[in-house]
Amino acid sequence: MNIAHIKKQVTKIADKIVKEVGLELFDVRFYNKSGRWILEVIIDNPSGYINHLDCEKVSRALEVELDNLDLITKRYYLEVSSPGLDRPLRNKKDFERFKNHLAKIKTNEKTYIGKIVDVNDERVVLKNQKQGEIVVEFKNIKKANLEIEF
């Protein structure tokens, strides 16, 4: 079983399905966890949030397509979900979308937490009470995600 091939094919199918319902494909993962194969399809709504009905709609359509193609020969579990409240921030577009939200950015040197206040092609600016404005260049970001605000 070629995992890379399966991910590529599922990505193509899932991308078509999510676009038809006005959503975006965020990620596709196919992995073995405790002896169970999991096909995880993560969807996003560029103009809001994902709800359980969105997941259900995509899951049902995807099940039909995958069953028809018989792409995955082993038994697997399909999970359709959202990126979550602490979603990864992977590119400039993500940072722009979540401007004024709390984010955590890790570089090789430090970890910063603050509200996203500005974004351009080279950098993102966070602001927090303790450090004020923090400028982080995209090339130095190792990992970034939203922080849950209470």
What the block records as the tokens of 14 is 């899932």
pLDDT tens digits for the chain (150 residues)? 789 999 999 999 999 999 999 999 999 999 999 999 999 999 999 888 899 999 999 999 999 999 998 889 889 999 999 999 999 999 999 999 999 999 999 999 999 999 999 999 999 999 999 999 999 999 999 999 999 987
Q: Residue 73 has what pLDDT?
A: 87
* DSSP secondary structure letter of residue 139: G
Domain boundaries defined on the chain: 3-81, 92-146
Q: What is the CATH number of domain 3-81?
A: 3.30.300.70
- Two domains, one topology: 3-81 and 92-146: no
Q: How far apart are CA 111 and CA 115, in angstroms?
A: 14
Alpha-helical regions (H) of 76-138: 92-97
Please tell me whether residue 95 adopts helix, strand or coil conformation: helix
- In total, the chain counts a number of residues equal to 150
Q: Are 83 and 44 a contacting pair, CB within 8 Å?
A: yes
Q: Is the dihedral of CA 78, 24, 123, 147 positive or negative?
A: negative
Distance of CA 68 to the CA centre of its chain: 27
Q: What's the CATH fold of domain 92-146?
A: SH3 type barrels. (2.30.30)
What the block records as the tokens of 137 is 């260049």
